[in-house]
Amino acid sequence: MSAENNVPAIRFKGFSGEWRDNKLHQVVDVKSGRDYKHLSIGNIPVFGTGGYMLSVNEALSYDEDAIGIGRKGTIDKPYVLKAPFWTVDTLFYAVPYTKNNLNFVYAIFQKINWRQKDESTGVPSLSKVAINNISVFTTGETEQTKIGNYFQQLDTLIEQHQQKHNKLLNLKKALLEKMFPKQGATEPEIRFKGFCGEWEDKALKEICTYHTSSLTVSDATIEGKYKLHDANKAIGYTDKNVQNFDYITIIKDGSGVGRVRLLPKKTSFIGTMGAIQAEKSDIHFLYCCLIKIDFSKHISGATIPHVYFSAYGNDNCITPIFEEQTKIGNLFKQLDTLITQHQAQLKKLNNIKQACLEKMFV
């Protein structure tokens, strides 16, 4: 909000004046969902707090679009409902009154801290009274439509990138299944042209070297030359235990035990992680082998879970000749790069959306 009362910080050109202070019941009609089990199978979608459930032969709303908001359970994930639809009794549906734009109101719903409206002591719950009494600011229909259309376009772009990201993840999962031999097999189902013959069965420890570290989070500095990593990110800098090769880290104890991560050379890592250096194998191919390992079968420790290289290092790792490893490794490297790019773009778009929700509304 700007210094002027009830005016957003960012506004489309041509609009001025204060926004109106309303209670939510003045903007939408909050209606209750109902049980659907008496209905027959049809083509009308039924929605719950988690989204689409099934389709039936009747609708609660035939021609009015709405916003679904959980009554019980998931109460902080509103979403748009396009008519016709049916909602179950754990999902309210809020129909905007005339001259209130659906996408504008949906953006307002995404700004509301619904968890603060929770009236339960157990399973999160909302009531119509709590929803109706929420204070919101609205503007005229024309400005609402401009804002609503902007957020609809932004949401469409986010959804497109999310779908591409999901497709890449599914493609990677499928290729990990098809381009590596299945249990008991010695050849994969899919192979690059020019390669044939059985893969060689080796223990993981035969094709890599394991490294440890004594560094801790407190060893991270601001003046070191090389990045120091914990399980999730670079946490600072160091000049100690620097690896002169690309390497793979595995969380060996505590939270996230068994998580695999690929890190570049000229970096370092803390002692809750072990590092694996590729030897007689391609680093990206080896990374694929490691993310396929079921580390859960190697976990020990009643209080703090541990996983040791002395245990999983004996796991079988079926490998082809180095040239084929490199072809496979490069393919997955390219896939991971694309996945990372889409993750970064999604993060950027979501950050833009959050900033706009803050600046374009009162």
Domain boundaries, given as residue ranges, for the chain: 20-138, 140-187+322-362, 200-319
Q: Is the pLDDT of residue 2 over 60?
A: no
Preceding amide of 84 cis, omega within 30: yes
Any idea which fold 140-187+322-362 has? Helix Hairpins (1.10.287)
Pairing outcome for strands 79-81 and 66-70: antiparallel
Distance (Å, whole) CA 50 – CA 79: 10
Whether 274 and 211 have beta carbons less than 8 Å apart is answered as yes
Measured distance CA(292)–CA(163) in Å, rounded: 24
* pLDDT tens for each residue of 304-320: 899 999 999 999 899 99
pLDDT digits (tens, 9 = 90+) for 56-87: 999 999 999 999 999 999 999 999 999 999 99
pLDDT of residue 302: 77
**Long-range Cβ pairs for the range 55-64 (8 Å, 24+):** 56/86, 58/86, 59/83, 59/84, 59/85, 59/86, 60/31, 60/33, 60/34, 60/85, 60/86, 60/87, 60/93, 61/31, 61/85, 61/93, 61/95, 64/95
Homologous superfamily of domain range 200-319: DNA methylase specificity domains (3.90.220.20)
Shared fold status for 20-138 and 200-319: yes
For domain 20-138, give the fold: Adenine-n6-DNA-methyltransferase TaqI; Chain A, domain 2 (3.90.220)
> What does the pLDDT look like over 30-46, one tens digit per residue?
999 999 999 999 999 99
Q: Work out whether the CA dihedral 58, 61, 65, 70 comes out positive or negative.
A: negative
